[in-house]
Amino acid sequence: MVRIIGLDPGLRNTGWGVIEAEGTRLIYVADGAVHSDPEAPLAERLLQIHTQVLEVLRQFTPDEAAIEETFVNTDARATLKLGQARGAVMLAPAACKVPVAEYAPNQIKKSVVGAGHAEKTQVKHMVKLLLPKAALHTADSTDALAIAICHAHHRGSQRLKDVLVRS
């Protein structure tokens, strides 16, 4: 059995979802979101996110992590800030020596729903179907569970991107 944490990075809210996978069987463990203070300077907000994700990792001790790749949109500033939040989030599993896999948003949707351009409501419905005991605390944590499910489906065929810190 492998414990997987899915991470959906965001500057305001970063969703997380923990599952266990044994073969094709998926077991819900927990989900939630961490938040940064929107009034704080950017560097402080990134530290808040990083510190809170570290706490979640220490609490649930996952074996592997999965994160959504940055979605590039027309607002370059928003994309850059999301990339910075993603970096702060990715550092947390690396600090805990947990390998991280990355998935494109369309790959996550296709893995969970069967269609790469699925709507959020479809993703939520399938997450609830695949993990009937899931609390689905927030939209961000639901997305994080979808990322974890995607990783559970692809972990055998995808080579994990090694982001372990070498001491």
Active-site residues, by number, are 8, 68, 140
Q: 45 Cβ partners below 8 Å, 6+ apart?
A: 11, 36, 37, 38
Residue (of 90, 60, 104, 103) closest to 164 by Cα position: 90
DSSP H or E segment with residue 42: helix 42-60
- What the block records as the tokens of 87 is 């970096």
Around Cβ 94, how many Cβ atoms within 10 Å? 15
What lies within 8 Å, CB to CB, of 50 at 6+ separation is 88, 89, 91, 92
